[in-house]
Amino acid sequence: MSVENSVSLDKEMLVDGEWVDADDRIEVVHPYDGRRVGSVPAASRGQVDAAIEAADRAHRESDLSAHERYELLYRAAELLEDDAEAMARVVTLEQGKPIAESRVEVDRAVQTLRLSGEEAKRLFGEYVPMDPQKGFDRTHAFTQREPLGVVTAVTPFNFPLNLMVHKVGPALAAGNAAVGKPASNTPLSAVKLFEYLDRACEELGAPAGLVNLVTGSGSVVGDALLEHDAVEAISFTGSTAVGRHLAAESGMKELTLELGGNDPTIVWRDADLDEAARQIVSGACSNAGQVCNSVERVLVDERVEDELVDALVERAEALAVGDPFDENTDVAALVDDDQAETVVRIFEETVEKGATVECGGRYEGRVFEPTVLSGVTPDMPAAREEVFGPLVPVIAVADFDEAIAEANNTEYGLEAGVFTQDIDRAKRAADEIDAGGVNVNTVSGFRADHMPYGGFKDSGKGKEGVKYAVERFTREKLVGFHAGKNA
Ligand code: NAP
Ligand code: MG
């Protein structure tokens, strides 16, 4: 029996400082072979409410200073770092990404915790000169940033650890209490994360309930978050459908939405085509394509289409497909049967409409080979829809106007990439592509954890990235000093 098979991952959830069970449980399976990995409680509505109320109380009781919040987050980072290999194995067990990629996710999560700790020390306000308006020459004013109270975090399956850190880290940095809710197919790495946070809180003497984790159905938890008055903020990463629902129902609550994408990467004829191909294949196939800003559409200058396609095929064929625990595997299984069926449908419909399969195209169960498709036109499903699979659809364009128009020919606007050596084209792409980020000489899939990150259009609202999340989890108060009787 392998180490993975012998690990017991039947876990509880964290409510008001206690690890608790529920009447029902949710089973977690390994995507690659379907074996049982563990289970978590399916929280009742009452348990979610209890977690929110505990967070509300803890937030009011907590008087952690900035340096204590920094220490808390640094301590959690240290605990995670010390347990990094075990955590990486849990991420691969529940989500199915290759173990090497899970190690990268864990390392990023350690850094995101530390970045959050540092940000706790930078909650600056500003001095506001009052004399621009007549009659206030002797008035002084400044702003101060205050926590919102209860910040809630709902995360998807594809980066089950680091996306939770992206919400809970900044929430705690800013002095809030947090309630987390991971995706039901990948809850175990979040449970482990909250074990470290819980321990770090305890060591520091923080009030019970400052961090809570509820596992369970998205709609049960979602309804509680929407309906409970104590919830000041909902930070959601996931599908556009759920994001729209939250936007419609969240009323006065602060809402951050990190949603889907159909990200373009433009390759112009003056670019280093081999380097572009290397990055595109990696950007389209990492985590088997289950990345929100993965390369979804390649828009290539038609004069170099053949050359780029050859380079893409060479790179894609070099990827090893197989067991995610094999150190050499580059592409493993999609997370579940639904995702796999959607990728197969989009692939088959795109080929039926006339696209050419340059390499790959075979699938079995949840495993889909890295696949390069040429001759793709903008009306085909692989171009129109967000594909959470390792497809590389190549669309040829005649000129740069068409490249920009095609880049924007989507309801999404998360990130974009453009490979060119021409500074004017690069600047034009940056100005004219309607996306939350435009990356010159790399792919749309680029993200560093401190940078502002978040899409336009149907890709969401608001930004993440530690400093930017902290801004959203605080409110700004103006304090004015007016002349008193001794003035
Ligand atoms: P999803 O189905 O929307 O689920 C995301 C989370 O929302 C899960 O925790 C889910 O819980 C929960 N949920 C479901 N129904 C809910 C409701 N009514 N109210 C509140 N929460 C609810 O998304 P997914 O399939 O896991 O993730 C894939 C999507 O996420 C893709 O579209 C991808 O592009 C997007 N994504 C975006 C970013 C970004 O930063 N922009 C990053 C990663 C992923 P259950 O699991 O219990 O249903
Ligand atoms: Mg889902």
Question: What average pLDDT does the segment 181-189 reach?
Answer: 98
* CA triple 193-194-196, angle to 5 deg: 70
Asked whether 117 lines ligand 1 (CB < 6 A), one says no
CB atoms within 10 A of CB 379: 9
β-pair type (254-258, 231-237): parallel
Asked whether 235 lines ligand 1 (CB < 6 A), one says no
Residue 1, pLDDT score: 40
Ligand in closest contact with the CA of 94: 1
Atom of ligand 1 nearest to the CA of 242: 3
Q: What is the pTM (predicted TM-score) of this model?
A: 0.97
Is 90 exceeded by the pLDDT of residue 239?
Answer: yes
Residue 123, pLDDT score: 97
pLDDT band at residue 240 under the 50/70/90 scheme:
very high
Q: What is the pLDDT of residues 315-374, one digit of tens each?
A: 999 999 999 999 999 999 999 999 999 999 999 999 999 999 999 999 999 999 999 999
Is 60 exceeded by the pLDDT of residue 477?
Answer: yes
Residue 8, pLDDT score: 72
Q: What is the dihedral of CA 99, 101, 103, 109, to 10 degrees?
A: -140
Statement: 264-449 belongs to CATH 3.30.465.10 = no
Q: What does the alpha-carbon distance between residue 467 and residue 117 come to, in Å, rounded to a whole number?
A: 11
Distance of CA 146 to the CA centre of its chain: 25
Going from the C-alpha of 161 to that of each of 32, 155, 169, 405, 409, the distances in angstroms are 19, 9, 12, 36, 32
Question: What average pLDDT does the segment 207-211 reach?
Answer: 98
Tokens at residue 221, please? Answer: 């938890």
Catalytic amino acids?
258, 292
Residue 487, pLDDT score: 72
Residue type, 413: G
Ligand in closest contact with the CA of 154: 1
Tokens at residue 230, please? Answer: 């104590």
Is 60 exceeded by the pLDDT of residue 37?
Answer: yes
Residue type, 451: M
Atom of ligand 1 nearest to the CA of 154: 9
* CA triple 419-421-427, angle to 5 deg: 80
3-state secondary structure the chain: CCHHHHCCEECCEEECCEEECCCEEEEEECCCCCCEEEEEEECCHHHHHHHHHHHHHHHHHCCCCHHHHHHHHHHHHHHHHHCHHHHHHHHHHHHCCCHHHHHHHHHHHHHHHHHHHHHHHHCCCCEEECCCCCCCCCCEEEEEEEECCEEEEECCCCCCCHHHHHHHHHHHHCCCEEEEECCCCCCHHHHHHHHHHHHHHHHHCCCCCCEEECCCCHHHHHHHHHHCCCEEEEEEECCHHHHHHHHHHCCCCEEEEECCCCCEEEECCCCCHHHHHHHHHHHHHHHHHCCCCCCCEEEEEHHHHHHHHHHHHHHHHCCCECCCCCCCCCECECCCHHHHHHHHHHHHHHHHCCCEEEECCCEECCEECCEEEECCCCCCHHHHCCCCCCEEEEEEECCHHHHHHHHCCCCEECEEEEECCCHHHHHHHHHHCCCCEEEECCCCCCCCCCCCECCEECCEECCECHHHHHHHCEEEEEEEECCCCCC
pLDDT band at residue 241 under the 50/70/90 scheme:
very high
Atom of ligand 1 nearest to the CA of 459: 41
Distance between Cα 52 and ligand 1 center (Å): 20
> Under CATH, what is the fold of the domain 2-259+461-476?
Aldehyde Dehydrogenase; Chain A, domain 1 (3.40.605)
Residue 183, pLDDT score: 98
**Atom 26 of ligand 1, residue of closest alpha carbon:** 156
Atom of ligand 1 nearest to the CA of 225: 20
Number of residues assigned to the chain: 487
How much is the CA Rg of the chain, to the nearest whole Å?
24
For the chain, the domains span: 2-259+461-476, 264-449
Distance between Cα 338 and ligand 2 center (Å): 9
Q: What is the pLDDT of residues 387-396, one digit of tens each?
A: 999 999 999 9
Q: What percent of the chain has pLDDT over 90?
A: 97
170 within 8 A of 18, measured Cβ to Cβ = no
For ligand 1, mutation pick of 186, 259, 286, 342 (most atoms within 8 Å of CB): 259
CB atoms within 10 A of CB 425: 18
Asked whether 373 lines ligand 1 (CB < 6 A), one says no
Asked whether 154 lines ligand 1 (CB < 6 A), one says yes
What sign for the dihedral angle of Cα 68, 207, 193, 172? negative
Residue 475, pLDDT score: 98
Q: Same fold for the domain at 2-259+461-476 and the one at 264-449? A: no
Exposed / middle / buried, residue 162 (Cβ in 10 Å: 0-12, 13-18, 19+) = buried
Distance between Cα 95 and ligand 2 center (Å): 12
Q: What does the alpha-carbon distance between residue 45 and residue 164 come to, in Å, rounded to a whole number?
A: 21
Tokens at residue 383, please? Answer: 């171009």
Q: What percent of the chain has pLDDT over 70?
A: 99
Q: What is the pLDDT of residues 246-263, one digit of tens each?
A: 999 999 999 999 999 999
Residue 423, pLDDT score: 98
For ligand 1, mutation pick of 112, 157, 162 (most atoms within 8 Å of CB): 157
Please state, rounded to an integer, the average pLDDT across all residues of the chain. 97
Residue 486, pLDDT score: 86
For ligand 1, mutation pick of 191, 213, 214, 239 (most atoms within 8 Å of CB): 239
Starting at the edge strand found earlier in the chain, the sheet holding 24-29 runs: 9-10, 36-42, 24-29
**Atom 13 of ligand 1, residue of closest alpha carbon:** 218
Question: What average pLDDT does the segment 406-431 reach?
Answer: 98
Q: What does the alpha-carbon distance between residue 352 and residue 379 come to, in Å, rounded to a whole number?
A: 12
Distance between Cα 126 and ligand 1 center (Å): 36
Asked whether 250 lines ligand 1 (CB < 6 A), one says no
Question: What average pLDDT does the segment 305-321 reach?
Answer: 98
Q: What does the alpha-carbon distance between residue 188 and residue 154 come to, in Å, rounded to a whole number?
A: 14
Asked whether 164 lines ligand 1 (CB < 6 A), one says no
State the residue for tokens 């700790």: 117
Q: What does the alpha-carbon distance between residue 120 and residue 470 come to, in Å, rounded to a whole number?
A: 8
